[in-house]
Amino acid sequence: MLLRRPGGSLELAEMPVPRPGTDQVLLRVDCCAVCRTDLHVVDGELRDPKLPLVPGHQIVGIDEATNVRLGVPWLGWTCGVCAFCRSGRENLCDAARFTGYTLDGGYAEYAVADRRFCFRIPDTYMSEEAAPLLCAGLIGFRAYRMTGDARRIGFYGFGSAAQILVQLARADGRDVFAFTRDGDTAAQQFAREMGAVWAAGSGTPPPEPLDAAIIFASDGSLVVTALRNLGKGGTVVCAGIHMSDIPPFPYELLWNERTIRSVANLTRADGEAFFQRIASLRIETRRTVYPLDRANEALADLRDGRLVGTALLKM
């Protein structure tokens, strides 16, 4: 499925099987989970994508050379020599390339990827179960670790990443308070089923102050809402790659050593830590499966809030 121009629909196209280059593997794609970042790329909210582009960065496929099952995440390549790469912050590399954005991704029957940035999928997970872990899980885990030892965490937006992280938080003895679009009772019920101790619309204050909050939704006004619900010394983590502007707010909301910070991409170390963390914890995800040629429908359902959990393209 090709994106030829931002803001347009994806086009079903037949292309030659890609040839792997140095350090690359050729993958026969099994499935690819759909991410809100894909939506930002397709809708033109992320600038300067590779065009034409095959989107998709939560890929699970089989290495044609070794028959090993691999997962491909958002971070597809870094230079390895800049100050960021040499200091363990390859997620900030200025020359980084990203799967399904500046590199062709997984909305296809075949894909190539740098073997150094792939993860071996644990045998305990089926491909459809593993695909959402490769961005919603990995970048979500990076955001989750930024909340420190917070006991009460607010999740603003309860979709693919939140359904994974609520299970980690519950296993760590923490309480998750889920905030959805006002009136979205289905998402609120889903949040409670997955382990949230409380769920309501974002306009409803929680029953007690939060120690931290993670913003998954792309609405910048939620940062101010979260600050109002945050206790002293708390942190608001913005976990998305794109967000609307944060409106002005009084300094008193930030005072008392509250913090706002963003998450940018991921590192391979994040992936290694995440898969090690879930080795003894079974992560469940709710998924809606679409065939490849219905990728536009999957994106539309995500855009319009009709999805509960994760959309997944199956080859």
* Domain identity same for 203 and 257: yes
Q: How many domains does the chain have?
A: 2
pLDDT tens for the chain, 315 residues long, are 999 999 999 999 999 999 999 999 999 999 999 999 999 999 999 999 999 999 999 999 999 999 999 999 999 999 999 999 999 999 999 999 999 999 999 999 999 999 999 999 999 999 999 999 999 999 999 999 999 999 999 999 998 899 999 999 999 999 999 999 999 999 999 999 999 999 999 999 999 999 999 999 999 999 999 999 999 999 999 998 999 999 999 999 999 999 999 999 999 999 999 999 998 899 999 999 999 999 999 999 999 989 888 999 999
Say how far apart CA 90 and CA 75 lie, in whole Å.
9
In a domain, 1, yes or no: no
CATH classification of the domain holding 70: 3.90.180.10
Region of 293 (left: φ > 0; alpha: ψ -120 to 50; beta: rest) is alpha
**What pLDDT does 280 receive?**
85
Helix (H, G, I), strand (E, B) or coil at 102: coil
Q: Is the alpha carbon torsion for 221, 230, 40, 89 positive or negative?
A: positive
**What pLDDT does 220 receive?**
97
* Cα separation of the two ends of the chain: 11
**What pLDDT does 309 receive?**
85
Count the alpha carbons within 13 Å of 21 in the hemisphere toward its beta carbon: 3
In a domain, 71, yes or no: yes
Helix (H, G, I), strand (E, B) or coil at 135: coil
- In the block, tokens 């930024």 appear at 146
Q: Tell me how many helices (H) and strands (E) the chain has.
A: 9, 15
Cis preceding-peptide flag for 52 (omega within 30 of 0): yes
* Domain identity same for 123 and 155: no
Which residues is 261 bridged to in the sheet? 237
Residue 69: what residue type?
R
Q: Which of 171, 113, 162 is nearest to 141 (CA)?
A: 162
**What pLDDT does 307 receive?**
87
In a domain, 126, yes or no: yes
User: pTM for the complete prediction?
Assistant: 0.92
In a domain, 64, yes or no: yes
* Domain identity same for 105 and 174: no
* Domain identity same for 37 and 128: yes
Q: What are phi and psi of 41, to 5 degrees?
A: -70, -50
What is the domain extent for residue 236? 138-262
